[in-house]
Amino acid sequence: MGDVRQGAELISAAQVVEIAREVIREYAPQELVVFDTTANAWMMGRLPRRRPRRVPPGAVGSGIETQLMTEIVFPVLTNALGQVLGILAIERGRRKRRPTADQSGDRGVHLTGSQVQVYREACRNRAIALGLSPCEAEEFSDACLGALVTAGLS
């Protein structure tokens, strides 16, 4: 699959998989048994695209299948990370300063508080677009934020 890249910023596909694994561990631990299969499909570019769908009025529950949580974690994360990396690249480009000796080798991504908010909101919005209820999307975006912290990117 490659990397989520914007400008000089880079988050490896392996990092995305680990963040996704942590999201599933937190939000839907029963799906960890199918996670590796889904992650491999994503890495190979074979994860099926999901179209947003609405739950019919009067339906009981969310209408989201168990497998779907594992499948939507990658589109949610890559969308959110792409938005944040775009902002980060613009902000760093505006600084137009030479890196100091201790910064020159560090191309890692460490997000500020406002960038973390953008990430969380992007996760929430994409999850809703993919069929989660606003309440489910809030919980899912909290899990996405927790996974980002666990990965050491915030």
The pLDDT tens digits for 45-67 are 887 765 545 544 444 445 554 44
SS3 111: coil
Q: What's residue 56's pLDDT?
A: 46
Model confidence at 105, pLDDT cuts 50, 70, 90, reads very low
Domain presence at residue 70? yes
> 3-6 and 9-12 as β-strands: parallel, antiparallel, unpaired?
antiparallel
Domain presence at residue 102? no
Q: Please provide the DSSP assignment of 29-84 as one string.
A: GGGHHHHHHHHHHHHTT-PPPPPP-PPPTT-SS----HHHHHHHHHHHHHHHHHHH
Overall number of domains in the chain: 1
- Report residue 59: phi and psi, to 5°: -70, 145
This prediction has a pTM of 0.74
- Report residue 11: phi and psi, to 5°: -125, 120
Q: Which domain holds residue 130?
A: 3-49+65-94+108-150
Model confidence at 117, pLDDT cuts 50, 70, 90, reads very high
Q: What's residue 90's pLDDT?
A: 75
Domain presence at residue 101? no
Sign (positive or negative) of CA dihedral 80, 152, 6, 25: negative
Question: From CA 115, how far away is CA 129, in angstroms rounded?
Answer: 21
Dig out the tokens for 127 from the structure. Answer: 């999850």
Domain presence at residue 143? yes
Q: Mean pLDDT, to the nearest integer, of 130-145?
A: 94
